[in-house]
């Protein structure tokens, strides 16, 4: 439903509370100047729903926090793709620069929320909130099946802002209620509330930047509360090797916050840390790292992967009206060039997120981007060229003449902004860390771009995991002597009418389009698998399609087209026994040449029929030729009927020992009759189950005593009394 309810307080009370908070924030400078004495967060968990194993901390760091780093891709391979990733925030209040950042061995965020009145953690302490909440989709399934909730589900802190849905699926937001009144409010599972989990695993925690002194940026805090959701999807590529991080930044400072920049300090590690290159793609809004050559020694080996960072859902940029489009990264700059040892205060990070060096000078095209001629173009994205083509400035071509740069231990800052917030306003940003591997180190970059575009489309869809369904055609079986003809068509109400099915699918970032039909034959009515006996597909170069399931190392044939072209929509199967029931089916399929699965297939529309001759055999002789049906057509009564409720027609001149069978035009058996008197077979116009027929056209088949001489007549029942 995606509505939001505020719980407990009316809208009027909420507005009054905001006014009170603003009054306190703007007038009580002494209260807001107090300093807490919090320790950095120590909680940790692993995000490992897919083929990535990432260690999560609540200290402002991800993947590394003074312990061995863990961003292992593929999971279990023992090779790391990233060393550390840290949130970076800068902004200005009344012109004064402020920041909340992390360095590999420094912290400027602490566990827990912010009290709106004091501007500090509750009771000036953070230890009570030093916790990470780890929920899997399987935990919710188990709960709904009657299993007791795991502790993190039982204790889910709705009152602190942990995303929660009520029983109707609406988002619960009670952050406008004073913190003191919602501090202990946990999820009410018995009332049907559930965590608003994204993906197959989601980890949530809350931090603030007012819990202690800012020793890195050496200034006052921004006054923000940060709720973080890390999540992953158990899907095929590209989601199989992607993790997501949502930061919900709630501003509770002492005045309008101008020029807020939100970014990430990223330290990749493509296996061996010292042999990497940096790149960026301004069209995708992505920064990435890749191996400088095609061998990552003692780690990934040949054809090493690439790792990209994308702000797939940025905050709204502008004057705070909420009407501006969401922006992704607006700058990517190499970190560690032209910086003195202490040049990491707030203004330096602000410059990096503006697309400049720490001293405010422009990054300029060429070389490493530093100390280039003043006429060289300013570039907010460093190394934006495609390294595989070497056609523009990249680390594979630093001078325009194809000269590569020196590999190094890649570090960069990527940022987005500026954003303008008032006290109580929220800015939200989603980051995706995307891993891809190609046939060599440069093809990995090409694959990374393709993967990132798909991930972006998935995020744009609101993380919609649904896949389209193509409708099956409607088949008809027409019998003939020893054969059946299976034909099919699409109704005007089908989503494949005129064979025009085409649906963009965010979960794979591609469009499935109609490709062809498969005809199947089944051993019996209970056979649910069948065997494909024919494929009719478009003449477009897509023939045999191989696909690899994410949990398998081996490719499988999922469809075997021949580029036959859809010149016919029927198949005649011969060599069949007359009067034996055969089972066939037809299904449609659609194709996309992106990620797994490449092919989606409709349900099978089935049809059953019995082969039989439908024309008179010229050699059957005068005896069989004399067979007739009286009356034909039948108009509701006949001369043979004695009582008003009787119905009867007669098949006349039937040779002794013959068997009479009545079929529908599609070949389904309606009734089998035996001769009861010499030359005559009586039919009460009922089917095999004894139910009366109301009308229609039928085929009456008479098989002579030899089993070889046959006569087929058409019978029409127009109406019945």
The whole-angstrom separation of Cα 11 and Cα 173 is 12
695 phi and psi angles, rounded to 5 deg: 160, 165
Element (H, E) at 451: helix 441-460
Tokens of 407: 């590999």
Q: Which of 563, 585, 609 is the last residue of a domain?
A: 609
CA–CA separation, 599 and 592 (whole Å): 7
Domain total for the chain? 3
Is residue 24 over pLDDT 60? no
Same domain, 686 and 605: no
The Cα 60–Cα 48 span in angstroms is: 19
Task: Give me the residues paired with residue 264 across strands.
Answer: 87, 414
Could you give the CA distance from residue 672 to residue 659 in angstroms, rounded to a whole number?
A: 7
Residue 466 domain-assigned?
A: no
Domain check: are 602 and 657 in the same one? Answer: no
Query: Which are the contacts of 417, defined by CB distance < 8 A and separation ≥ 6?
Result: 259, 260, 261, 262, 263, 315, 317, 330, 353, 354
Name the least confident of 108-122, 335-349, 392-406: 335-349
pLDDT over 70 (residue 208)? yes
Angle 464-466-468 (CA atoms, 0-180°, nearest 5)? 130
pLDDT tens per residue across span 181-197: 999 999 999 999 999 99
End position of a domain, from candidates 460, 492, 512: 460
If asked whether residues 40 and 109 sit together in one domain, one would say yes
Q: Do 44 and 159 share a domain, yes or no?
A: yes
DSSP-derived 3-state class of residue 497: helix
Residues 6+ apart with CB under 8 A from 533: 519, 520, 521, 571, 573
Q: Which of 460, 494, 515 is the last residue of a domain?
A: 460
CATH number, domain with residue 684: 2.60.40
**Structural domain boundaries enclosing 178:** 4-460
Structural domain contains residue 615: no
Is residue 465 a part of any domain in this protein? no
Please give the pLDDT value at position 615: 52
> How many CB atoms sit inside 10 A of residue 98's CB?
24
User: Within a domain: residue 211?
Assistant: yes
Tokens of 218: 């050496």
Q: Which two tokens stand for residue 661?
A: 């069978």
> For residue 325, is pLDDT > 70?
no
CATH number for position 553: 2.60.40.10
**278 and 395 in contact (C-beta within 8 Å)?**
yes
pLDDT band at 339 (very low <50, low <70, confident <90, very high): very low
pLDDT tier at 158, thresholds 50, 70, 90: very high
Q: Name the 3-class secondary structure at 424.
A: coil
Could you tell me if residue 570 is inside a domain?
yes
Q: Are residues 77 and 206 in the same domain?
A: yes
Whole-model pTM? 0.80
**Beta carbons of 388 and 395 less than 8 angstroms apart:** no
Split at pLDDT 50, 70, 90, the class of 711 is: confident
319 confidence band (pLDDT: 50, 70, 90): very low
Whether residue 117 is found in the same domain as residue 34: yes
Give me 388's structure tokens. 């595989």
Distance CA 164, CA 158 (A): 6
């Amino acid at each position: 439903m995606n509505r939001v309810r505020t719980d407990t307080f009316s809208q009027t009370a909420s507005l009054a509370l905001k006014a009170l908070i603003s009054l306190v924030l703007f007038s009580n400078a002494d209260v807001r100047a107090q300093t807490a004495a919090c320790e950095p967060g120590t909680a940790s968990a692993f995000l490992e729903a897919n083929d990535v194993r990432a260690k999560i901390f609540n200290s402002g760091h991800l993947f590394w926090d003074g312990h061995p780093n863990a961003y292992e891709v593929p999971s279990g391979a023992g090779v790391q793709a990233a060393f550390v990733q840290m949130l970076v925030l800068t902004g200005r209040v009344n012109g004064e620069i402020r920041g909340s950042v992390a360095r590999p061995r420094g912290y400027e965020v602490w566990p827990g929320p912010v009290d709106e009145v004091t501007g500090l953690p509750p009771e000036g302490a953070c230890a009570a909130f030093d916790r990470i909440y780890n929920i899997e989709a399987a935990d919710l399934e188990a709960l709904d099946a009657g299993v007791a909730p795991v502790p993190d589900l039982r204790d889910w802190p709705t009152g602190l802002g942990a995303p929660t849905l009520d029983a109707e699926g609406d988002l619960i937001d009670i952050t406008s209620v004073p913190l003191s009144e919602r501090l202990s409010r946990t999820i009410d599972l018995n009332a049907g509330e559930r965590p608003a989990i994204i993906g197959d695993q989601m980890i949530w925690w809350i931090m603030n930047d007012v819990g202690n002194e800012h020793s890195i940026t050496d200034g006052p805090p921004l006054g923000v509360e940060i709720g973080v959701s890390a999540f992953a999807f158990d899907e095929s590529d590209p989601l199989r090797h992607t993790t997501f991080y949502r930061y919900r930044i709630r501003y509770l400072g002492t005045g309008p916050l101008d020029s807020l920049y939100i970014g990430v300090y990223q330290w990749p590690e493509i296996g061996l840390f010292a042999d990497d290159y940096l790149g960026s793609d301004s069209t995708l809004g992505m920064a990435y790292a890749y191996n400088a050559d095609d061998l990552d020694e003692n780690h990934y080996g040949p054809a090493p992967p690439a790792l990209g960072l994308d702000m797939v859902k940025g905050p709204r940029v502008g004057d705070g009206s909420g009407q501006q489009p969401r922006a992704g990264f607006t700058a990517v700059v190499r970190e560690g060039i032209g910086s003195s040892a202490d040049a990491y205060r707030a203004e330096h990070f602000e410059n990096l997120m503006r697309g400049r060096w720490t001293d405010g000078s422009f990054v300029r095209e060429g070389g490493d981007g530093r100390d280039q001629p003043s006429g060289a173009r300013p570039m907010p994205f460093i190394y934006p060229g495609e390294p595989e083509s070497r056609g523009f400035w990249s680390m594979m071509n630093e001078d325009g003449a194809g000269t590569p740069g020196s590999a190094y231990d890649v570090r960069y800052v990527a940022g987005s902004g500026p954003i303008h917030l008032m006290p109580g306003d929220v800015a939200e940003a989603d980051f995706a860390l995307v891993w891809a591997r190609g046939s060599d180190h440069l093809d990995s970059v090409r694959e990374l771009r393709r993967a990132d575009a798909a991930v972006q489309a998935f995020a744009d869809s609101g993380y919609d995991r649904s896949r389209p369904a193509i409708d099956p055609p409607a088949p008809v079986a027409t019998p003939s002597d020893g054969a059946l003809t299976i034909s099919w068509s699409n109704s005007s109400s089908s989503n494949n009418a005129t064979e025009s099915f085409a649906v963009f699918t965010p979960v794979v970032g591609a469009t499935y389009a109609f490709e062809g039909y498969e005809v199947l034959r089944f051993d019996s009515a209970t056979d649910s698998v069948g065997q494909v006996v024919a494929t009719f597909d478009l003449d477009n170069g897509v023939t045999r399609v191989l696909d690899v399931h994410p949990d398998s190392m081996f490719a499988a044939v999922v469809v075997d087209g021949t580029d036959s072209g859809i010149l016919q929509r029927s198949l005649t199967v011969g060599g069949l026994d007359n009067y034996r029931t055969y089972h066939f089916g037809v299904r449609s399929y659609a194709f996309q040449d992106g990620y797994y699965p490449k092919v989606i297939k409709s349900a099978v529309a089935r049809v059953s029929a019995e082969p039989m001759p439908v024309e008179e055999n010229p050699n059957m002789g005068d005896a069989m030729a004399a067979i007739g049906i009286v009356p034909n057509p039948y108009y509701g009564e006949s001369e043979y009927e004695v009582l008003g409720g009787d119905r009867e027609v007669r098949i006349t001149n039937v040779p002794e020992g013959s068997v009479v069978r009545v079929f529908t035009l599609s070949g389904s058996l309606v009734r089998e009759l035996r001769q009861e008197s010499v030359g005559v077979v009586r039919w009460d116009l009922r089917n095999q189950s004894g139910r009366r027929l109301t009308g229609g056209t039928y085929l009456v088949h008479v098989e002579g005593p030899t089993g070889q001489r046959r006569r087929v007549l058409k019978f029409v029942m127009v109406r019945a009394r």
